[in-house]
Amino acid sequence: MKFVILMVVFVAVASRCEGVTSKFRRKREATEDMPFDSDVFSVPDGYNAPQQVHITQGDLNGNAVIVSWVTPTEPGSSTVLYGTTKDKLDKSAKGKHGQYKYYNYTSGFIHHATLKHLKYDTKYYYAVGVGQTVRKFWFKTPPQVGPDVPYTFGLIGDLGQTYDSNRTLSHYESNMDAEAVLFVGDLSYADHYADHDNRRWDSWGRFVERSTAYQPWIWTAGNHELDFAPELGETVPFKPFTNRYHTPYKASNSTAPFWYSIKRGPAYIIVLASYSAYGKYTPQYQWLNEELPKVNRSETPWLIVLMHSPWYNSYNYHYMEGETMRVMFEKWFVQYKVDMVFAGHVHAYERSHRISNTAYNIINEKCTPVPNQDAPVYITIGDGGNIEGLANNMTEPQPSYSAFREASFGHAIFEIKNKTHAYYTWHRNQDGEKVTADSMWFTNRIWLRTDDSSNVV
Ligand SMILES: *[C@@H]1O[C@H](CO)[C@@H](O)[C@H](O)[C@H]1NC(C)=O
Ligand SMILES: *[C@@H]1O[C@H](CO)[C@@H](O)[C@H](O)[C@H]1NC(C)=O
Ligand SMILES: *[C@@H]1O[C@H](CO)[C@@H](O)[C@H](O)[C@H]1NC(C)=O
Ligand SMILES: *[C@@H]1O[C@H](CO)[C@@H](O)[C@H](O)[C@H]1NC(C)=O
Ligand SMILES: *[C@@H]1O[C@H](CO)[C@@H](O)[C@H](O)[C@H]1NC(C)=O
Ligand SMILES: *[C@@H]1O[C@H](CO)[C@@H](O)[C@H](O)[C@H]1NC(C)=O
Ligand SMILES: [Fe+2]
């Protein structure tokens, strides 16, 4: 049982129509990238040692894992040895390696191998660097897909590689229950540097390895993954991202790595691409149109959508940038009763009430969000702590759809208890893990009629 300490502001009865703008103000220090010689970026010892090790789900149901890593000096082996006993890695998966050039940067040798036919709910040990410098890690597979298995996700967005990013990651790691990260986009912010200095993609990979090598991070592409720079002769969007981070998009019949879905335990997770076309007739539109009817809420009662650019955002940053996608897809989210939508992009935190804005038809003037129990809760969690700093300028007054907003860095935890209940908490970095700055019980509207979207006080 977790003790939840609630700030005084929450003692005020949360009504559906009044939002809270938290008065909490963090100390205003600069948000700088950690220098290349920082401890978190250290290169592992040994000849051609694998670095930047990361894993993600490798299929639709959670029986496969994609293991990725980089070797700096020569390709070396692309094989992963693995097994369920630490000292007996009796299985192997052969992967492939590649390399890419970006302006005057040449990447290391990037390896990807998919471990298939894994057993559910099982701890696996694995090793990379076979034949040279061997490094060992482990991961746990999810429980079998089904309605009543508990599962806990972490939520991180817009992380970057500043001292604040390191605080966010450390804070997240202190929650021992979280089993996988739903990452809502904007990874390294290498594009902040001249020529998109891709060495910052490498340092980011080394920084997050302490988490990404042990639990899957589910990737969403953000605008900082575009690396579209015609002035450098770089005209293929997402080049570093697609070379370094793979997604299991083919398993959900997607035709591009930027939009896809997975099932993990009791959850169905749909990842959308804010920076790929989504207008009518486009591949992403067609895919989502066919995808939503496939979700079987008896099998996966929780339907979660990830995207980078938020649809509901009341900060004066990226205001209305998500509007065009909202216009295309919001009615489907209401129709299929999506439970929650997580987005990043805005470097702050915000949670909406259950609202929709789908009645407008150009001539009827019905263009204001209204309470709607079929609609998702929209959460902006772009508060990982990157070099661009906090978004602290909010539109005033707080719109009635906005339940809670605060300009602090942090992360969130979504704890699915069973098919009817899930507990969501947001944790600002200034507090300990057990301190909750915002929280909500989600009751599943497919399985329980009585929804409670107010704060738990
Ligand atoms: C790439 O070009 C920049 C200047 O545009 C220079 O500072 C840097 O050293 C070059 N890097 C390599 C690997 O040549
Ligand atoms: C990052 O955080 C870790 C864990 O809290 C700590 O050991 C390390 O020294 C930090 N590094 C930097 C550069 O802040
Ligand atoms: C993908 O498409 C194939 C061929 O139409 C179909 O058999 C399969 O069930 C589809 N997979 C999913 C996850 O929808
Ligand atoms: C939905 O899932 C339930 C539980 O796994 C299963 O019994 C049922 O057959 C599925 N329905 C369809 C249409 O696949
Ligand atoms: C906040 O944003 C608004 C709208 O962009 C702008 O007019 C205002 O000057 C900003 N306030 C501050 C303090 O930056
Ligand atoms: C589901 O979880 C909630 C919250 O922990 C609990 O109150 C409820 O009894 C559980 N339902 C079942 C059927 O176990
Ligand atoms: Fe962004």
Q: Which pLDDT belongs to residue 23?
A: 77
* Ligand index nearest the alpha carbon of residue 266: 4
Q: Tens place of pLDDT for every residue, the chain, 457 residues?
A: 344 433 333 333 344 457 899 877 666 666 899 999 999 999 999 999 999 999 999 999 999 999 999 999 999 999 999 999 999 999 999 999 999 999 999 999 999 999 999 999 999 999 999 999 999 999 999 999 999 999 999 999 999 999 999 999 999 999 889 999 999 999 999 999 999 999 999 999 999 999 999 999 999 999 999 999 999 999 999 999 999 999 999 999 999 999 999 999 999 999 999 999 999 999 999 999 999 999 999 999 999 999 999 999 999 999 999 999 999 999 999 999 999 999 999 999 999 999 999 999 999 999 999 999 999 999 999 999 999 999 999 999 999 999 999 999 999 999 999 999 999 999 999 877 677 899 999 999 999 865 444 433 2
- Tens digit of each residue's pLDDT (9 = 90 or more) over 249-299: 999 999 999 999 999 999 999 999 999 999 999 999 999 999 999 999 999
Residue 316 Cβ < 6 Å to ligand 5: yes
Q: Give the Cα separation of 343 and 445 in Å (integer).
A: 21
Residue 195 Cβ < 6 Å to ligand 1: yes
- Tens digit of each residue's pLDDT (9 = 90 or more) over 59-113: 999 999 999 999 999 999 999 999 999 999 999 999 999 999 999 999 999 999 9
The single-letter DSSP state of residue 229 is B
Q: Is 318 known to be catalytic?
A: yes
- Ligand 1, atom 11, residue with closest C-alpha: 104
Q: Sheet containing 340-343: which strands, arranged edge to edge?
A: 20-21, 402-406, 349-352, 377-381, 340-343, 302-306, 267-271, 260-264
Q: Tokens 């080394």 correspond to what residue?
A: 206
Give me the long-range contacts of 288-293 (CB less than 8 A, separation at least 24).
288/259, 288/329, 288/332, 289/332, 290/253, 291/252, 291/261, 292/332, 292/335, 292/336, 293/336
Instruction: Quote the ligand 1 centre to 28 CA distance (angstroms).
Output: 34
Buried b or exposed e, range 7-36, using 16+ CB within 10 angstroms = bebbeeebeeeebbbbeeebeeeebebbee
Q: Of the listed 54, 318, 345, 427, which one is catalytic?
A: 318
Q: Give the Cα separation of 91 and 88 in Å (integer).
A: 9
- Residue 253 alpha carbon, nearest atom of ligand 3: 1
The pair phi, psi for residue 201, each rounded to 5°, is -70, -40
* Ligand index nearest the alpha carbon of residue 382: 7
Handedness of CA 336, 340, 343, 348 (dihedral sign): positive
CA proximity to 348, closest of 306, 368, 307, 318: 318
Q: Which pLDDT belongs to residue 436?
A: 85
The pair phi, psi for residue 322, each rounded to 5°, is -85, 0
Domain extents for the chain?
A: 145-185+258-456
CB 309 within 8 A of CB 345: yes
Identity (one letter) of the amino acid at 24?
F
Q: Token digits for 41?
A: 């970026």
Q: Concatenated DSSP letters for 321-360?
A: TTHHHHHHHHHHHHHTT--EEEE-SSSSEEEE-SEE----
CATH topology of domain 145-185+258-456: Purple Acid Phosphatase; chain A, domain 2 (3.60.21)
From 60, 61, 294, 296, the mutation candidate for ligand 4 (largest count of ligand atoms within 8 A of CB) is 296
pTM over 0.75: yes
The pair phi, psi for residue 105, each rounded to 5°, is -100, 140
- Tens digit of each residue's pLDDT (9 = 90 or more) over 209-220: 999 999 999 999
